Amino acid sequence: MKRKRANRQASKPDHDLARIRILDKAVAERIAAGEVVDRPASVVKELIENSLDAGATRISIEIEGGGIALIRVGDDGTGMHPEDLSLAVERFATSKVNTAEDLLAIRTLGFRGEALPSIAAVSHLEIVSTVGDGSGRRLRMSGGEAPALDSVGAPAGTTVTVRQLFFNTPARRKFLKSPSREFALITEVVNRAALANPAVAFRVVHEGNDVLRYPAGSLEDRVAAVLGGETFAGMIAFRHESAGANLTGWVGRPELARAGRRQQYLYVNSRPVANRIMASAVEHAYQQLLPQGRFPLFVLFAGFPLDRLDVNIHPRKLEVRFDDDHRVFGVVARAIRSALLDARLVRRVEQAAVQYPTEISIGQGLSLQADGVGVREAFPVPIDGTGPLPAMRLLGQVYGTYLLAQSADGLLVIDQHAAHERVLYERLLQQRVAGAATGQVLVTPIPVELDAWQLPLLRTYGEALEQLGFAFEEFGERTLLLRVVPQIAGRSPAAVLKDLLTELAETEHTKTTESLLERLTIGTACHSAIRAGDVLTMEQMVALVQDLAKTDDPYTCFHGRPTLVSVPLTQLDRWFLRR
């Protein structure tokens, strides 16, 4: 404590710390800006929302350097009155709210009047706007300093250009991800806006290339365009009305589930939001349809009466609050569940969490038959003790997740996913280190439909992916031709590649090639491995345990989870009071 005080005195502040002052405007703006704009994607979100509020029918978004070098959003909306232009960059200046009562029923996307001043405080900003008579006004300002205004010719509408974002807030800049990852987040923002506004045409230009084009059209066409036709084909439409709530949208079949929550699109009264209650209600409806770590794809539009929710709880307007969370959870979960029921994906009679064999037949060996989850097959199979694993007699699979086996001194429970991960990881690592061919050349290349955000990632990480055994070429705007795939990828290499891209977009930027490769090796093994819920044949179980026995470290997967636990016979004896 004492030392701290001494240090403080040593650094000699040039003002008296004991006195309170009002911050000068530029500093105050810069601090406040952090709440609204934390990265390029949030700037794009605010600018698109302004264009939508201005009634635009086409919006174009230009991005350079991941949005750090340049963001330009142009629209054909109402434009701003020449005298209003300098007001727009003032804090709490808005054309959308007049009185405090207006806040109780907000219909526009913006209402806080802080986006433009926030962006202006941390960038070089230029706004050109005209109300349509060809005489445009231009405003330029840097880092929150006083704006300069002049006249220019311009088409109707507004174009906002943001250059050198965070040039005067180096701390904020340090937290940004690589340009390709920031761009991935930007396309996500555009997709979120595009889904809610199918009548508006959107276009994204990235480093001078057209990467996204959504023509104005029906909602269905827009959803298909954003998700990709192939994915859209696997979506189930739903519509549900109950007292005070109106839900429509699409949910993905379980096989479309992803490794992350990136493609969960949620709207409340046409506003893209994140809401934990609603998202978990959807995931709840998928209970027992998805293994752990897989997340459903959905596009959900929810309409609630304006007086039942508060949209003004977050500076970036990303969240909403309901007056009754329980009701909302129930309504959403029921709506999605009935959509899945109608699609015959869920059984009418819900399965109990634990299921006991319903039929036991003794044939050539012991065979337990269960309906659904439970013990599938149980031919006791002896497996020699090779390597560090003990000799065991494999009994079968339970809950589609664990293998049961008996060793000389106890009962073994093997997590099939963790075990397979370990096997695949070591196999891939050995191949990689030995410089051996990790890939398998496909006789017929597999076309893979990509999302716009995935392409730049693919280019950035292409070389590393090749070292893992992927070889592909771009084929048309959104399609990739997979020519070589990792040997370990099994039957669905395209899904493995997509899962890897999702992971690359969501986890922190890896600096060294070595750790990037390590991470991708782990990811490839993880996404290629059999999952909890996959029912295995006895041959597959035996092969898995034999392969596990050959690994260097059969007892843990690389996530640090155990692959196997043993319940010693002495413990069983103790439980049953035999000792």
Binding stretches for ligand ADP (CB under 6 A)? 46, 50-51, 54, 75, 77-80, 88, 93-96, 110-116, 158
| Residue from 44, 54, 115, 328 binding Mg ion (CB under 5 A) | 115
Residue 160 in contact with Mg ion, rule: CB under 5 A: no
| Residue from 30, 36, 44, 50 binding Mg ion (CB under 5 A) | 50
Residue 77 in contact with Mg ion, rule: CB under 5 A: no
Range in contact with Mg ion (rule: CB under 5 A) among 107-115, 130-138, 201-209, 544-552: 107-115
Output the smallest distance, CB 268 to Mg ion, in A. 18
How is residue 125 written in tokens?
């900003």
Output the smallest distance, CB 96 to ligand ADP, in A. 5
Output the smallest distance, CB 49 to Mg ion, in A. 5
Please state, in angstroms and rounded to a whole number, the distance separating the CA atoms of residues 212 and 204.
Answer: 5
Please state, in angstroms and rounded to a whole number, the distance separating the CA atoms of residues 419 and 399.
Answer: 16
Residue 110 in contact with Mg ion, rule: CB under 5 A: yes
Please state, in angstroms and rounded to a whole number, the distance separating the CA atoms of residues 498 and 512.
Answer: 22
Pick the closer one to ligand ADP by CB: 108 or 367: 108
Range in contact with Mg ion (rule: CB under 5 A) among 15-23, 112-120, 147-155, 346-354: 112-120
Strand order in the sheet with 264-268: 235-242, 245-252, 298-303, 264-268, 271-272
Pick the closer one to ligand ADP by CB: 59 or 522: 59
Output the smallest distance, CB 61 to ligand ADP, in A. 12
Range in contact with Mg ion (rule: CB under 5 A) among 104-112, 119-127, 465-473, 546-554: 104-112
Partner interacting with residue 96 (select from Mg ion, ligand ADP, none; CB below 5-8 Å by kind): ligand ADP
Q: List, in order, residues 6 or more apart from 468 with CB less than 8 Å away.
A: 428, 432, 438, 439, 486, 517, 520, 521, 524
DSSP-based three-state secondary structure for 439: strand
Q: Which residue has the tokens 């231009």?
A: 138
Phi, psi of 268 (to 5 degrees): -120, 120
Partner interacting with residue 113 (select from Mg ion, ligand ADP, none; CB below 5-8 Å by kind): ligand ADP
Looking at residue 538, its amino acid is M
User: Which whole-number Å values give the CA distances from 125 to 71, 143, 159, 161, 165, in the listed order?
Assistant: 10, 8, 11, 6, 9
Partner interacting with residue 497 (select from ligand ADP, Mg ion, none; CB below 5-8 Å by kind): none
Output the smallest distance, CB 460 to Mg ion, in A. 32
User: Which whole-number Å values give the CA distances from 17 to 20, 21, 43, 218, in the listed order?
Assistant: 8, 10, 35, 60
Please state, in angstroms and rounded to a whole number, the distance separating the CA atoms of residues 526 and 509.
Answer: 19
Pick the closer one to Mg ion by CB: 102 or 325: 102
Please state, in angstroms and rounded to a whole number, the distance separating the CA atoms of residues 308 and 290.
Answer: 32
Question: Closest residue (Cβ) to Mg ion?
Answer: 110
How is residue 243 written in tokens?
């007292």
Range in contact with Mg ion (rule: CB under 5 A) among 47-55, 175-183, 221-229, 358-366: 47-55
Question: Closest residue (Cβ) to ligand ADP?
Answer: 110
Output the smallest distance, CB 62 to Mg ion, in A. 19
Interface residues with Mg ion (CB under 5 A) are: 50, 110, 115
